[in-house]
Amino acid sequence: AELYGVQNWSSGFFRVNEKGQVEVTPAPGVSAVLKDVVDELVERGESLPIILRFPQVLAGRVKQLNEAFRTAIREYGYGGSYQGVFPIKVNQRRMVVETIAEAGFEYAHGLEAGSKAELALCLAQNMHSEALLCCNGFKDDGFIKLALWGRALGKNVVVTLEKFSELERVLKVSRELGVRPAIGVRFKLHARGSGQWEESGGDAAKFGLNASELLQVVERLRQEDMLDTLVMLHTHIGSQITDIRRIKIAVREATQVYSDLVDEGVGLKYLNVGGGLGVDYDGSKTTFYASMNYTMHEYASDVVYSVQEVCKQNGVREPTIVSESGRALTAHHAVLIVPVIDVTGPTRGSQFIPEPAEDQHQVVKDLEEILANINLRNYREMYNDAVGDKETLHNLFDLGYLTLRDRARGEAIFNAILQKLAKLVSGLPYVPDELEDLPKVLADKYICNFSLFQSLPDNWAIQALFPITPIDRLSERPTRQATLVDITCDSDGKIEKFIDLRDVKATLPLHDVDGSSAYYLGFFLMGAYQDVLGSAHNLFGKVSEAHVLARPGGKHDIELFVRGQKARRIIESMGYEEPMLRDSIGEQADRAEAIGELDPGDKSELLEDYDEELLGYTYLEYEE
């Protein structure tokens, strides 16, 4: 079980039980076995892949974050409070937003909207009256109107200026509506983040006002006698900040700006430090991009301490600290369960080697020679020779000097060499540097019933790493090394990088599968950004979802099952209409019947089968 490092990356929300099965452990005394949940769903006739969502995990993260800040505030005797907001762009799913709003009610945890549609959604949520509703992103009149109507409804809506010209727009709409705004200003810190989103901060950042624009906002509001409406200073240096020092530097800079604004006579109430609180996807606790060198408690503690220190130095009142943590709240709550449907690879099973031709080409003979003679003393040269010979084999074939039979025999012998090599090196403590690629070359390809583009878009787009483990058989030592491929017709639909404590691994250790029982992989920490960024490449649609509650004694309740997108829905989203498709097939079937190509019985069966697929799941459906 340690092979997969569950205890390193799970933040205590998952563990491996004594039977070698992964359990979700959202709170003390309750747990659920993932395999049991999947078995129940399969028994009910549901198809995989399926996303398992755990509302208790989400609620647990909301509590952890708020308690971390409360603890830090108590410890340091900080004079202000903490009020988080959840940026819904990270995951707008109803279950996610409602669970966070509910769990966050006692902490007055609010929401952040970055567009009109997101704001419309946020305004309809039941939130604590003091909970913030921050409006970020570029705005038009309609966006600002909606935000101001939110204030009229009694909600604590703050309109954040992302650029200087938005101020006049806010003033105009506010005059028209007769509703006084609460204004925030996003400030461009010169401090930058660390990790993949470094560019979000710094002088060249897309959003935010610079120092002189900020002062112009203050002057303009003073002119209008509306300085009291400027309530929040907002900063954001990027998501997944890997290094805590960057956060401290940015928070200190933000607090300096806050202090100076207070000195200018602005009664700012909130200091918003943005997102960036990371998730330790590989569990290495380092500044590697898939990790972070701090805990949630250290984050809260360092933010509170840094704000307090700068406020003390400057003799200003300590503000309410706001953070817009999204990734850290949502990543843990979702697990994608994917069945392995087949395994291929150069070393799988017996390989058929075609008989030699009478005048066999020398390059094939060379490969035969290598196969006969490769051993532990010479395998480095022999392997390199074999790779060279295979390349020659293909070049000669392209030029017409080799027959298809020669090529087939040459390739099969090459694979036999790999099989022999795999056996030879399996006993070695390490693979030599010059054969670095070997594990990948020798690896099996586990074909998995999912679409990388729909379910793990960040793995494809920005090489994000997610922990992947079998959800069962973890007390058995895995005997295979694998890479994963999805079922899209896209050669990018594969995973060849896996988490590791020291480095990134080229293969994932997996158990042998012989098809006698289902083998499921869990893709963990999927709850942030993946659900909303996924795309329908090859028309693989939204995945089915189960909302699962863990109970005492390892029991569970499936609270809700939402079936994944049907084929017709995803076809319709491309501009087609279902009746049009049916009519076209119907007419073609009539014509085929008229000319005697199709008898009436077959015709109705054809139409039924077509209908069934239109109404079916877009993923492969095998008997589990």
Phi, psi (rounded to 5 degrees) for 226 = -125, 25
Q: Which of 239, 293, 507, 618 binds ligand PLP (CB under 6 A)?
A: 239
According to the annotation, is 177 in a ligand binding site?
no
Tokens of 238: 């990027």
Least distance from C-beta 211 to ligand PLP, angstroms? 19
Least distance from C-beta 525 to ligand PLP, angstroms? 13
Least distance from C-beta 547 to ligand PLP, angstroms? 22
Q: Scanning residues 77 to 136, which ones bind ligand PLP (CB under 6 A)? A: 87, 90, 136
Phi, psi (rounded to 5 degrees) for 54 = -120, 95
Tokens of 610: 């077509």
Q: Scanning residues 305 to 344, which ones bind ligand PLP (CB under 6 A)? A: 324-328
Helix (H) or strand (E) holding 342: strand 334-344
Under 8 Å between Cβ of 129 and 156: yes
The yes or no reply on residue 276 touching ligand PLP (CB under 6 A) is: yes
According to the annotation, is 444 in a ligand binding site?
no
Q: Which is nearer to ligand PLP, 239 or 347 (CB)?
A: 239
Q: Scanning residues 343 to 372, which ones bind ligand PLP (CB under 6 A)? A: none
Q: Which is nearer to ligand PLP, 136 or 259 (CB)?
A: 136
Alpha helices in 228-270 (DSSP H): 244-263
The yes or no reply on residue 279 touching ligand PLP (CB under 6 A) is: no
According to the annotation, is 276 in a ligand binding site?
yes
According to the annotation, is 266 in a ligand binding site?
no
According to the annotation, is 310 in a ligand binding site?
no
CA 561 centroid distance within chain: 21
Least distance from C-beta 86 to ligand PLP, angstroms? 9
According to the annotation, is 273 in a ligand binding site?
yes
Least distance from C-beta 236 to ligand PLP, angstroms? 4
Instruction: Supply the residues annotated as catalytic.
Output: 489
According to the annotation, is 272 in a ligand binding site?
yes
Q: Which is nearer to ligand PLP, 193 or 470 (CB)?
A: 193
Under 8 Å between Cβ of 337 and 34: yes
| Residue tagged 């076995």 (tokens) | 33
DSSP 562: E
Q: Of all residues in this chain, which one has the CB nearest to ligand PLP in the complex?
A: 275
| Residue tagged 């509650």 (tokens) | 549
| 3-state class (DSSP) for residue 264 | coil
Dist CA 551 CA 560 (whole Å): 15
Is 387 buried (19+), middle (13-18) or exposed (0-12) by CB count in 10 A? middle
Q: Which is nearer to ligand PLP, 194 or 240 (CB)?
A: 240
Least distance from C-beta 326 to ligand PLP, angstroms? 3
Least distance from C-beta 258 to ligand PLP, angstroms? 17
Give the range of 49-57, 232-240, 358-366, 574-582 binding ligand PLP by CB under 6 A: 232-240
Under 8 Å between Cβ of 337 and 38: yes
The yes or no reply on residue 64 touching ligand PLP (CB under 6 A) is: no
Q: Which of 150, 184, 208, 274 binds ligand PLP (CB under 6 A)?
A: 274
Q: Which is nearer to ligand PLP, 525 or 589 (CB)?
A: 525
Give the range of 268-276, 297-305, 382-390, 422-430 binding ligand PLP by CB under 6 A: 268-276
Closest CA to 543 of 445, 447, 448, 463: 448
- How crowded is residue 85: how many other Cβ atoms within 10 Å of its Cβ? 28
Dist CA 159 CA 123 (whole Å): 13
Least distance from C-beta 187 to ligand PLP, angstroms? 12
Size of the site for ligand PLP (CB under 6 A): 15
The yes or no reply on residue 236 touching ligand PLP (CB under 6 A) is: yes
Residue 128: HSE in the Cβ half-sphere, 13 Å Cα cutoff: 18
According to the annotation, is 45 in a ligand binding site?
no
Helix (H) or strand (E) holding 151: helix 141-152
- The CA distances from residue 35 to 43, 417, 473, 520, 543, in Å, are 12, 38, 10, 8, 18
- How crowded is residue 599: how many other Cβ atoms within 10 Å of its Cβ? 11
Dist CA 132 CA 168 (whole Å): 23
| 3-state class (DSSP) for residue 26 | strand
Phi, psi (rounded to 5 degrees) for 290 = -95, 15
Binding string to ligand PLP for residues 136 to 175, with x set by CB under 6 A, is what?
x---------------------------------------
Q: Which is nearer to ligand PLP, 89 or 556 (CB)?
A: 89
Q: Which is nearer to ligand PLP, 155 or 186 (CB)?
A: 186
According to the annotation, is 275 in a ligand binding site?
yes
Q: Which of 275, 319, 493, 522 binds ligand PLP (CB under 6 A)?
A: 275
Least distance from C-beta 107 to ligand PLP, angstroms? 16
Residues in the chain: 624
Dist CA 358 CA 356 (whole Å): 6
According to the annotation, is 33 in a ligand binding site?
no
DSSP 85: E
Q: Which is nearer to ligand PLP, 277 or 335 (CB)?
A: 277
According to the annotation, is 153 in a ligand binding site?
no
Pairing of strands 480-485, 508-510: antiparallel
Closest CA to 337 of 130, 593, 53, 25: 53
Q: Which is nearer to ligand PLP, 276 or 410 (CB)?
A: 276
Dist CA 456 CA 523 (whole Å): 9
Q: Which of 127, 277, 448, 598 binds ligand PLP (CB under 6 A)?
A: 277
CA 175 centroid distance within chain: 42
Q: Scanning residues 207 to 226, which ones bind ligand PLP (CB under 6 A)? A: none
| Residue tagged 């994963």 (tokens) | 484
Least distance from C-beta 114 to ligand PLP, angstroms? 7
Q: Which is nearer to ligand PLP, 53 or 327 (CB)?
A: 327
Residue type for 131, please? A
Give the range of 16-24, 25-33, 214-222, 233-241 binding ligand PLP by CB under 6 A: 233-241
The yes or no reply on residue 35 touching ligand PLP (CB under 6 A) is: no
Closest CA to 3 of 25, 24, 26, 22: 22
What residues are designated binding site for substrate?
271-281
Residues forming contacts to ligand PLP in the complex (CB under 6 A) are 87, 90, 136, 236, 239-240, 274-277, 324-328
What residues are designated binding site?
271-281
